[in-house]
Structure 1
Amino acid sequence: MAPTAARDHSLVYAPKIRDLLDRTEKVFRIDPATVGVADCRLLAEIVAARPVRSDERSVYKPAAGADIPHDSATRTIRALGQDVMAGIRTPPPPARGLAGAWPYASTSYLRRWLFGSDPLPVSLLSRRGVTRSDVLSRIVDRAVTAWPGPGAAGTSTALAELIRGASDPLDRKQAVAMYRRATATLCDGVAALAGNAVWLLRQEQQGGEPDAAPADLTAALWETLRLLPPAWMLWRKGGEAYTALHPEIGPGDDIALFPLLMHRHPDHWSDPMEFRPERWTGVADPEKTPGFMPFGFEGARCWAKHLVVPLAERLLTVAFDNGLVIRGPHRDAPVPLRSLLSVRFDAATAA
């Protein structure tokens, strides 16, 4: 990997992430049962070796003891797209909701913005205070199975209407699980991307506090997806399909694929550790850029990839228009070991 630039020390990565960033190999053993891969060609071969399994997807893993049918997954994607596009077109909630600890404040703000019209108890499915408790989650899930009450038609999101339209108890339980997973995956991912962009833009301005969106916010988000991709690791469970691809991979090895490392490699990027949004100026299709996979490879791409950048851009426009500033930390921000890579900081708004 390219040596860490001076600006990168403003982030304090969790030790295991730091260990990964310090590696020079493109294929390496993480532990006796796991191989890490950051090589662009090998990543593509691994993803193409077999279809992604349902238990390797966070959203479409089995629910209520059964696999999620393909038509149900398709309906979920379409409904979520409708809700996001409708949300982008509607006035946002008061910007004071963006004040506080990021990415938690921005996650709650997005959930309120996009899904706040859903009646109780459906709206509770995406509340952070509920999702963090297994007991509360089970209580809310049971309550939603008895929803809707009389007179509730037409007052909820398209995603919530899939629960209403469920044809049998299993279908309803799976629709509840899909609502919870889809809203969490989208809002958590967009909040992480937006927060990472805010931090990188602040560092780009050498410690200044931006009070307006940059001229090309879309380019800044693509560069954030390169340098601090929220989806920083993809997982494939072991099997014979991978053993012929590399001598390090055995039949029982799980495989961790690291866009975070590939996106920083000098084989594909000039000044790889530098935050340079201008590198995306005039790039018609960023996802066709070699060595870049912010949403996964063809056939296994994120189901909501077409929603993430537009929604993050809309969120950041609201934040900057309302004077969002970082209050702390002033220099070194933590990046904990989580499924989504996200910078932690506290923010305030002028609203």
Structure 2
Amino acid sequence: MFRVDATTVGVSDARLMAEIVAARPVLSTERSVYKPAAGADIPHDSATRTIRALGQDVMSGIRTPPPPARGLSGSWPYAPTSYLRRWLFGTDPLPVSLLAKRGITRSDTLSRLVDRAVTVWPGTETGGGSTALAGLIRGAADPLDRKQAIAMYRRASATLCDGVAALAGNALWLMRATGARQADLTAALWETLRLLPPAWMLYRNGGDAYAGLHPEIRPEDNVALLPLLMHRHPDYWSDPLDFRPERWTGVADPEKTAGFMPFGFDGARCWAKHLVVPLAERLLTVALDHGLTVRSPQQDAPVPLRSLLSVRFEASVGA
């Protein structure tokens, strides 16, 4: 445990992390996807429908031919983020498909305009090709339900595509930087989740529930849980700074490994954790089968301090 600033403490000890998570349920405002929308909390049944719909869309996308691989050339993770959105949600009719366009989501003004357009006219299903997430918008029972379905579509598609692109990019960077020629992409992805986890920090608002767990935690302190540091602790890992995918060989359930928290703790786990690794593996397979090459930088890569840990680099796809 260490102090980050006057009102924030950081925690990297596995036992203390578990105690903090168990001290109280996670708040809706602490979960980016399920935070309130349209002035109201997201009902549990609505959240469950969203998870199921997203799962259907991802499994359908994995089974369908991907877009042309040239879409993966350019700046990572931006190129694969746009690629995944086109792959998974490109069949949705206007204006719903605009909800998953990266150029739209980066502008608050354009996002509000598209949200209003979808609220008035969510489009019609053409030939059965639209996504299950889009179906939740069309099937909304009332204006509030539709506004929340729109928010969930935007959040779910963005969170999934951003996270998978970050994981795949981090894996490519580690495989290249270490000279690894990894046939088992699943093991490489689990090792990437250990060494460069996209979800590198979980944030909890302060309160009395945490004050008694450690003498340095005060009621007014917010808490940053740091899997990035825990995953590098020598008490849990041999050669903790080395990229060694073979450490996962024969591990039936990686999430039960001590000192490993790639998707959060019980009760607050990533809602799409069962989709992330299979989709990232499919994305990496497409990239490697088409000769994707990491062009720059050579040794060091920038990693902006943002909610997702993602290495920035340039890549190109072979002819």
Give the residue type in structure 1 aligned to 2:29.
Answer: D
1:328 to partner: Cα distance = 1.1
1:154 to partner: Cα distance = 2.9
Scaled by the length of structure 1, what TM-score is found?
A: 0.89
User: 5 Å matches for 1:1-150?
Assistant: 27-149=1-123
Write the distance in 2 (CA, Å) between the matches of 1:133 and 1:118: 20
| Structure 1 residue corresponding to 2:195, chosen from 215, 227, 239 | 227
**Corresponding position of 2:149:** 175
Give the secondary structure class of the aligned counterpart of 1:326.
strand
Write the distance in 2 (CA, Å) between the matches of 1:222 and 1:331: 22
Write the distance in 2 (CA, Å) between the matches of 1:134 and 1:145: 16
Write the distance in 2 (CA, Å) between the matches of 1:330 and 1:269: 27
Give the residue type in structure 2 aligned to 1:283.
Answer: V
1:171 to partner: Cα distance = 0.3
Write the distance in 2 (CA, Å) between the matches of 1:108 and 1:329: 22
Give the residue type in structure 1 aligned to 2:315.
Answer: A
Write the distance in 2 (CA, Å) between the matches of 1:217 and 1:135: 40
**Corresponding position of 1:187:** 161
Write the distance in 1 (CA, Å) between the matches of 2:172 and 2:251: 22
Identity percentage of aligned residues: 80
- Please tell me whether residue 262 in structure 1 is matched to residue 236 in structure 2: no
**Corresponding position of 1:314:** 282
8 Å CA contact 2:11, 2:225 repeated in 1: yes
Give the residue type in structure 1 aligned to 2:253.
Answer: D
**Corresponding position of 2:263:** 295
| Structure 2 residue corresponding to 1:333, chosen from 297, 301, 304 | 301
**1:307-328 CA-partner distances (Å, limit 9, x unpaired):** 0000000000000000000111
Write the distance in 2 (CA, Å) between the matches of 1:278 and 1:147: 51
Give the secondary structure class of the aligned counterpart of 1:335.
coil
Scaled by the length of structure 2, what TM-score is found?
A: 0.98
Write the distance in 2 (CA, Å) between the matches of 1:152 and 1:139: 23
1:153 to partner: Cα distance = 7.0
Q: 1:192 to 1:149 in 2, by over 3 A?
A: closer
Give the secondary structure class of the aligned counterpart of 1:108.
helix
Write the distance in 1 (CA, Å) between the matches of 2:12 and 2:150: 36
Give the residue type in structure 1 aligned to 2:292.
Answer: L
Write the distance in 2 (CA, Å) between the matches of 1:124 and 1:148: 11
Give the residue type in structure 2 aligned to 1:318.
Answer: V
Write the distance in 2 (CA, Å) between the matches of 1:204 and 1:253: 39
8 Å CA contact 2:201, 2:226 repeated in 1: yes
**1:144-200 CA-partner distances (Å, limit 9, x unpaired):** 112234564733100110000000000000000000000000000000000000000
Q: How many residues align?
A: 319
Give the residue type in structure 1 aligned to 2:282.
Answer: R
Write the distance in 2 (CA, Å) between the matches of 1:191 and 1:56: 23
Write the distance in 2 (CA, Å) between the matches of 1:308 and 1:165: 27
**Corresponding position of 1:238:** 206
- CA RMSD in angstroms comes to 1.1
- Please tell me whether residue 248 in structure 1 is matched to residue 222 in structure 2: no
Write the distance in 2 (CA, Å) between the matches of 1:89 and 1:151: 20
Write the distance in 2 (CA, Å) between the matches of 1:253 and 1:278: 39
- Please tell me whether residue 346 in structure 1 is matched to residue 282 in structure 2: no
**Corresponding position of 1:323:** 291
8 Å CA contact 2:28, 2:36 repeated in 1: yes
Give the secondary structure class of the aligned counterpart of 2:291.
coil
Q: 1:168 to 1:322 in 2, by over 3 A?
A: same
Give the secondary structure class of the aligned counterpart of 1:235.
strand
Give the residue type in structure 2 aligned to 1:327.
Answer: R
Give the residue type in structure 2 aligned to 1:84.
Answer: V
8 Å CA contact 2:167, 2:197 repeated in 1: yes
Write the distance in 2 (CA, Å) between the matches of 1:305 and 1:288: 14
Q: 1:105 to 1:149 in 2, by over 3 A?
A: closer
